Amino acid sequence: MLTLLLIPVLILFLIIYFFASLFTSTFGVIPRLILAIVLVLLVSFIIKNFFAVVGVIILISLAFWIRVQLIKRQTRHHHQNDNTFDGHFEEVDKDK
């Protein structure tokens, strides 16, 4: 019975130690452990709420896809004709 509790706790500490070892030259010991615990909690939150996270990602990507499609349709360039201003003004002779 004790091993059923001890093995997951040992695995959790090994995972936390692994994440802490990734930042050995960056931070001190306590900030590394806090950062590793936060990373483990964040990963476990994403795993726990996998379908919610995937749904939000799909909605955001769908919103950007719709935006790109609508902007592409609105920004069609029209051909210039004689009535289109091309950006050059004629100089006016004030002496006339």
Query: Are the CB atoms for 16 and 40 separated by under 8 Å?
Result: yes
Whether 28 is covered by a domain: the verdict is yes
Burial of 20 (0-12, 13-18, 19+ CB in 10 A): buried
Query: Are the CB atoms for 16 and 36 separated by under 8 Å?
Result: yes
First to last CA, the chain: 107
- Global pTM reads 0.35
Structural domain of 38: 11-74
pLDDT one digit per residue (tens) for the chain, 96 residues: 677 778 877 887 787 777 777 766 666 777 777 777 777 787 788 778 888 878 888 998 888 888 888 776 555 555 666 666 667 677 777 776
Write down the pLDDT at residue 78.
Answer: 59
Whether 42 is covered by a domain: the verdict is yes
Q: Among 29, 27, 33, which residue's Cα sits nearest to residue 13?
A: 33
Q: Looking at the 3D structure of the chain, how many domains does it have? A: 1
Whether 89 is covered by a domain: the verdict is no
